[in-house]
Structure 1
Amino acid sequence: MASVPAEEPASNDFEANKSRPSQSGKCDLFTGEWVPDPSGPVYTNKSCFQIEGHQNCMKNGRPDSGYLYWRWSPRGCSLPRFRPKKFLHLMRNKSWAFIGDSISRNHVQSLLCILSQVEQAVETYHDEEYRSKIWLFPTHNFTLSVIWTPFLIKADIFEDMNGVSSSEIQLHLDELDKKWTDQYRSFDYAIIAGGKWFLKTAIYHESNVVTGCHYCPGKNLTELGFDYAYRKALQLVLNFITSSGHNTLAFLRTTTPDHFENGEWFSGGTCNRKVPFKEDGVNMTDVDTIMRNIELEEFEKAAALGPEKRVVLKLLDTTRLSLLRPDGHPGPYRQFQPFAADKKAKVQNDCLHWCLPGPIDSWNDLVMEMIVNGGIYQ
């Protein structure tokens, strides 16, 4: 049995509220707090077959379950739960794509799990490493894709599935990754995100010339910084979207904060917290602040061009609400029963991705709200 937080939310009837705005009429979906929710998630790791092993925290032996009993409560209005039946009805004969790194894959698994309450998806494609996939919901002729492109731009990556690199990444700052751009015009909706991979060591190329790097001591190259490359990449991505001539409804999702403490993923960092932070209880790291500021600045410039080019561009600003959930990561339970043989074993923690079910499910509540009550479905 799962434990329930001691406090009670102001109202448990989230469905009845239907995103009712406050008397001021203002609703900021991305500012608010996490409130206790005894009803828990709409699916479990036993009812959904799409959860990857690394995110299947309950199956892997995570002993606590309090992290499952919170819901995001935006300031100024209530946020209804995602309605899978209505979503699939709206998306009949449509196609969605989640474009980005493994967090995008984490996000699409959450959506698959929620939709599986109505219809099971059929996997119709996967690449060699199972990083990019396509699913079909046959009854609704609805197609859902995830495209693994961690930089969104062209990159030569020399890294295995465990993150061990044999050479520096070669990043082409003036060329998009065709893996997603070649398919873009076939999508009705897309959620695009980047971020954390730009922190890795990389050599930067522009106009087929090496112009600098990020974190490459001993290479005798100019340190341009990850922020330089990330801004260039986002400008390229957003310019492509606004100039595509295709009316894909595109969301730019902001950077995902991690919650490593006492080290990083490679140096013994952990995430053992059991409850969310209060809104004033934590600050973003400098890196996340820089990334999110770049995202907001470049989005604002691109969104201003959207109407004249008949493109709908929306910001899915999940950074701050995700920052408040240090309890929602797999931690050591990214692997099966990590302490079965030795209760004091030192194991690598995952404090970046999210348990399923978990806080990432609320991202889909937000997407549903923006589409349905925002009146932007097409």
Structure 2
Amino acid sequence: MVQINVWKWSKRRPCFQITFLIFMVFIAATSLFNELKIQHFDHHNPQIQSDRNHLPNSNHLNPTEIDRFTECSSTEKYSGRKIEWNENDRLKPVSDSEKECDVFSGKWVFDNTSHPLYIESSCPYMSDQLACHKHGRADLNYQYWRWQPNDCNLKRWNVAEMWEKLRGKRLMFVGDSLNRGQWISLVCLLQSVVPANKRSMSPNAHLTIFRAEEYNASIEFLWAPLLVDSNSDDPVNHRLGDRIIRPDSAYRHLSKWADADILVFNTYLWWRQGPVKLLWKSEENGVCEELDGQGAMELAMKTWAKWVNSDDNHNKRRVFFVTMSPTHQWGREWNPKSEGNCYGENHPITEKKYWGSGSDLPTMTMVENILARLGSKVTVLNITQLSEYRKDGHPSIYRKFWETLSPEQLSKPESYSDCIHWCLPGVPDVWNELLFHFL
């Protein structure tokens, strides 16, 4: 019936039909010309070719090949397969230079004059997971602590100077929810000087972007909790029974971060949730191998490091790696008489070089060895020790919980306290002061 109606309509308007046909041919020809023009431009643009050369061959890997519905057909023991690369720079990472003051060693100083660097309620991009005052925390002392290195000073935070460093650039955080917290912190630190009609935030997605029009700059967050491609790459639906990764591929994420000017990576916490299943890129039958979290993390780190090492743009691009963010799940580690966790804590730990079980030394050693092989191609932001002291800086019960809490949980706040993430303003602001210091 539809075809008959169209034919009758066309039959009554033969001139219009011919005109329309000519118009469509013109559009098709124009599109073909533009495509050829774009291909010609790409072919003669060395930067685009360089970035594409570091992407895995699309004929061998579909970036949507592994997702949250991916399952292993069977699981075998880890075969011992390695990720290797030929490093050509064995210098110490930038932030470990002996010629500079160690800004990562120091103490927290109470400073209610210069801190906080912004007000929680004044940041429209604040996360309900991190807005502790909004969700009932009356004690605001966690906002007033300033990090003071032992033998020097951190570069004083300056919003105007930071924007000038970012002018015309893309700064991208790549990692898990802790890295997302640092991203939100930086947006809150910077957004107030940008007029409301000159800034925007894209919806939450795999890649979420804050744009500042007058600086032609963006501050972005890419959800990649395991750095390599995995079944947990959906920013919302990632609570899965099995953690499955492609240990030798970061295609999905790399295709987004390859053009960024400043990259800030992290990964750690998701590797502490039990064994990980490895689905190698070359495996066509869905057979997985199983490996402990630290071993799987090492493979993922080496795949990431392989890209950093081969990046032809490393002289212009800045790459940072943020070390593990500690948790404070066991109060007995800083107070032998305690049976709780971070709930109710309102003061930093003062014991020098305090180290709890929320930070894993063997994992840190493994990461340090990989970063050392990358040398000056990566700047390390060693936030672990300074964050270890801040048992008071977590949201605890003062955040939005998306799941309904049971009466049993509500009767015992320690049972549902968040001792992983950090209140804002707070500890992640110092991580960004360190980023500013090294930029």
Q: Same fold (TM over 0.5)?
A: yes
Q: Which residue of 1 aligns with 2:145?
A: 70
1:280 alignment partner, one of 332, 352, 355 = 352
Question: Are positions 1:114 and 2:186 aligned together?
Answer: no
CA distance, structure 2, for counterparts of residue 279 and residue 230 of structure 1: 30
Alignment of 1:90-105 (within 5 A): 90-105=165-180
Q: Relative to 1, partners in 2 of residues 1:203 and 1:25: Cα closer, same or farther, differing over 3 Å?
A: closer
Q: Which residue of 1 aligns with 2:70?
A: none
Q: Relative to 1, partners in 2 of residues 1:42 and 1:351: Cα closer, same or farther, differing over 3 Å?
A: same
List, as ranges, runs of 4+ consecutive aligned residues in structure 1 with deviation greater than 4 Å.
Answer: 158-164, 341-344
Q: Relative to 1, partners in 2 of residues 1:48 and 1:236: Cα closer, same or farther, differing over 3 Å?
A: same
Question: Are positions 1:369 and 2:437 aligned together?
Answer: yes
CA distance, structure 1, for counterparts of residue 214 and residue 313 of structure 2: 26
Q: Relative to 1, partners in 2 of residues 1:125 and 1:162: Cα closer, same or farther, differing over 3 Å?
A: closer
SS of match in other structure, 1:186: coil
Q: Which residue of 2 aligns with 1:252?
A: 321
Question: Are positions 1:187 and 2:260 aligned together?
Answer: yes
- Amino acid in structure 2 at the alignment position of 1:150: P
1:357 alignment partner, one of 425, 430, 435 = 425
Q: Which residue of 2 aligns with 1:345?
A: 411
Q: Which residue of 2 aligns with 1:335?
A: 400
The structural deviation recorded for 1:59 is 0.5
- What TM-score do the two structures reach when normalised by structure 2? 0.67
In the alignment, is the contact (CA less than 8 A) between 2:119 and 2:425 conserved in 1? yes
- Amino acid in structure 2 at the alignment position of 1:30: F
In the alignment, is the contact (CA less than 8 A) between 1:185 and 1:246 conserved in 2? no
Q: Relative to 1, partners in 2 of residues 1:275 and 1:262: Cα closer, same or farther, differing over 3 Å?
A: closer
The structural deviation recorded for 1:280 is 2.2
Unaligned 5+ segments in structure 1 are: 1-23, 214-223, 307-311, 372-378
- Amino acid in structure 2 at the alignment position of 1:259: H
In the alignment, is the contact (CA less than 8 A) between 1:33 and 1:279 conserved in 2? no
CA distance, structure 1, for counterparts of residue 157 and residue 193 of structure 2: 12
Q: Relative to 1, partners in 2 of residues 1:72 and 1:287: Cα closer, same or farther, differing over 3 Å?
A: closer
The structural deviation recorded for 1:199 is 1.6
- Amino acid in structure 1 at the alignment position of 2:160: K
SS of match in other structure, 2:248: strand
1:296 alignment partner, one of 368, 377, 384 = 368
1:169 alignment partner, one of 233, 243, 255 = 243
- Amino acid in structure 1 at the alignment position of 2:320: F
Higher helix share: 2
Q: Which residue of 2 aligns with 1:234?
A: 301
CA distance, structure 2, for counterparts of residue 241 and residue 317 of structure 1: 18
Deviation by residue 1:117-170 (Cα, 9 ceiling, x = unmatched): 32257335335xx463111111111111100010011111399958753x3121
Q: Relative to 1, partners in 2 of residues 1:269 and 1:182: Cα closer, same or farther, differing over 3 Å?
A: same
Q: Which residue of 2 aligns with 1:321?
A: 386
SS of match in other structure, 1:145: strand
Question: Are positions 1:87 and 2:162 aligned together?
Answer: yes
SS of match in other structure, 2:295: helix
Unaligned 5+ segments in structure 2 are: 1-97, 333-339
- Amino acid in structure 2 at the alignment position of 1:280: K
- Amino acid in structure 2 at the alignment position of 1:134: I
Alignment of 1:192-271 (within 5 A): 192-201=265-274, 202-206=276-280, 207-208=282-283, 210=287, 212-213=289-290, 224-247=291-314, 248-261=317-330, 270-271=342-343
Alignment of 1:142-181 (within 5 A): 142-157=217-232, 161=236, 164-165=239-240, 167-176=241-250, 178-181=251-254
The structural deviation recorded for 1:285 is 2.0
Deviation by residue 1:164-195 (Cα, 9 ceiling, x = unmatched): 53x3121221111x332012231110001101
CA distance, structure 1, for counterparts of residue 409 and residue 329 of structure 2: 21
Q: Relative to 1, partners in 2 of residues 1:326 and 1:78: Cα closer, same or farther, differing over 3 Å?
A: same
In the alignment, is the contact (CA less than 8 A) between 2:345 and 2:391 conserved in 1? yes
Q: Give the structure with higher Rg (CA).
A: 2
- Amino acid in structure 2 at the alignment position of 1:57: C
1:123 alignment partner, one of 196, 200, 223 = 200
SS of match in other structure, 1:182: helix
Q: Which residue of 2 aligns with 1:7?
A: none
- Amino acid in structure 2 at the alignment position of 1:244: D
Identical pairs, percent: 26
- What TM-score do the two structures reach when normalised by structure 1? 0.77
Higher strand share: 1
- Amino acid in structure 2 at the alignment position of 1:54: Q
SS of match in other structure, 1:55: coil
- Amino acid in structure 2 at the alignment position of 1:196: L
The structural deviation recorded for 1:62 is 0.4
In the alignment, is the contact (CA less than 8 A) between 2:143 and 2:424 conserved in 1? no
SS of match in other structure, 1:353: coil
The structural deviation recorded for 1:84 is 0.9
More off after superposition, 133-142 vs 346-355: 346-355
RMSD: 2.8
